[in-house]
Structure 1
């Protein structure tokens, strides 16, 4: 008998085709359609991307649920503990966004360091004389401090090194890497550019607050492509206004989309992209196909990649 899979959000066409070849697919993109599906169908797996929430009430509405999955790496919108307690596999796509997020991080770093955003905007407004007031610098010779040395952090380190940057890092634990491991305070005090690649949890929420920002070198840049809530935005705005730090570039915010007048977003020394770092055509397709392939395997008696089952150890 074919299993039933519920999609809370759209996925890549190729991934949808794989699903439809092996299971029955139902969509619950809005509250009304979701309610209708749940009232009529026994759901065996739920797949989301970045917005659809997989929480206890939804799990409890699907008594035959075997798998919940996110087409992505972070699991902020999946209640992993609740799923584990119900013996439900949690599947994601670890490592699938490493290259694209590292590239996006360096793109933001370059834009901020070289003041590219204002330069491009000035030329589009026919203001070639902007070059007479241009200020900017290069990455070469600067110290890059990385907080969080997982797959993405390590990739950023290697690219930064290729740019001629001096790399040092702090992480929850040290790694066998050719870069100095130091305390977070030491990294912040020495770095010209700080790049955040930490997971979001109770320990890291607001980790870049008033104290951490005060440790940063005057004029240093802060880059965040990890999670918006790692940064205390009230303290960040104060540090920017006091010229305590040189600028902030991010692909993430604590609340997405932000309130239009969010002061940090409007600040002249801030660049924010709309959580689009992983939305390149190649990565979006890869993430969806990896996740769907492992969900199908889990439902049909196949062999999903063990590393894709986030809570495998807790279920064993």
Structure 2
């Protein structure tokens, strides 16, 4: 049987599938990982969102066939190095689209309707807060989406269901220029992958294009935004508010001032942690890892670097 190294815990159902088909070893801490690398011929490594599968780890596993992440983004997997070594990179594309889109709309509603402060004031027995309430509604507003992949498309459909006009900019699909989307939107929502081209794609110049009453939402990757510029914009009232599920540093240190800003709402990178999505991401990834290790064909779109194996 082939040997699989787990760097992080996975859903119980997915673990059971692995245990039925391969030998499973864990490297949850440095000592445990070192022991496995010194004594086991590793054929596949599976991580989730924190532990990295990098060049050093690959060098320590000369028989590695698969580098996998139970998730969608591959920021913590060195895809280029894996491809050069003819190692298949497996993930679970599209598995979190529904839950991320729902979370995005929840953040929009919380900002637009000033829901967080309303709930907090009532908990403080301040019912008269309703006399100061100045929230608005999504209906009739313009939603600008940057990135029209699986999640961006779902957010667009949900926005339209709420009566919003949807504009979008995408690197791969025909849409409007980004500047126009930023200028015309009441809410701008980010759904881009992180790359050299998209790193801090929203900075001071882009924030200055937005309406003073506009909101910025980020449920994609924290580093898409220059958070120092964002803090300046929030302090200056350049934009009205910010909501996110992701930060460039997690837990926040450098971005803590943004998190604590009264016009910001931040959740702890939890949008994909629903029971259904977590289970689905893990099972999809594990089933395709097992397929490769047992000589069967994995789902084509699960192999990120599949073109290198044609």
What is the CA-CA distance between 1:261 and the residue it aligns to?
7.5
Q: Secondary structure at the match of 2:229?
A: helix
Counterpart pick for 1:211 among 205, 209, 221:
205
Task: Give the equivalent residue in structure 1 for 2:292.
Answer: 298
Match of 1:226 among 217, 220, 231: 220
CA deviation profile, 1:157-202 (whole Å, cap 9, x unmatched): 0000000000010001325xxxxx2100000000000000011000
Corresponding residue number in structure 1 for 2:18 = 19
Query: What TM-score do the two structures reach when normalised by structure 2?
Result: 0.98
| C-alpha separation in 2, matches of 1:67 and 1:239 | 44
Contact 1:306 1:312 (C-alpha < 8 Å) held by counterparts: yes
1:172-211 matches, within 5 Å, as 172-175=171-174, 181-211=175-205
1:178 match: none
Aligned residues: 310
Q: Distance in 2 between matches of 1:204 and 1:307?
A: 23
**1:103 counterpart residue number:** 102
CA contact (8 A) 1:251 1:275 kept: yes
CA distance in 1, matches of 2:218, 2:82: 29
Match of residue 257 from structure 1:
251
Q: CA deviation at 1:219?
A: 1.1
In the superposition, the TM-score normalised over structure 1's length comes to: 0.97
Match of 2:9, SS state, is coil
Unaligned runs of 5+ in 2: none
Which residue of the partner structure matches residue 130 of structure 2?
131
Residue 247 of structure 1 corresponds to 241
Structure 2 counterpart SS, 1:168: strand
Runs of 4+ residues over 2 Å off in structure 1: none
Residue equivalent to 1:82: 81
Q: Give the match's secondary structure for 1:161.
A: helix
Q: Which residue of 2 aligns with 1:146?
A: 145
- Indicate the residue corresponding to 2:261 in structure 1: 267
Q: Residue 217 of structure 2 contacts residue 242 of structure 2 at CA under 8 Å; is this kept in 1?
A: yes
Instruction: Give CA-to-partner distance per residue, 1:110-138, whole Å, 9 cap, x none.
Output: 00111111111111222212212222100
Gaps of 5+ in 1: 176-180
1:174, 1:90 → 2: CA distance?
A: 25
**Structure 1 position 61, deviation (Å):** 0.3
Checking the alignment, whether the CA contact within 8 Å between 1:84 and 1:315 is kept in structure 2 is no
Secondary structure of the structure 2 residue equivalent to 1:223? strand
Question: How far apart, in 2, do the equivalents of 1:80 and 1:89 lie?
Answer: 9
2:296 and 2:117 map into 1 onto residues whose CA distance is: 52
User: Aligned partners of 1:193 and 1:293: how far apart in 2?
Assistant: 38
Distance 1:10 1:124 in 2: 37
**Deviates most, 41-50 or 121-130:** 121-130
Counterparts of 2:244 and 2:11 in 1: how far apart (Å)? 25
Alpha-carbon distance in 2 for matches of 1:248, 1:260:
16
SS in 1 for 2:157: helix
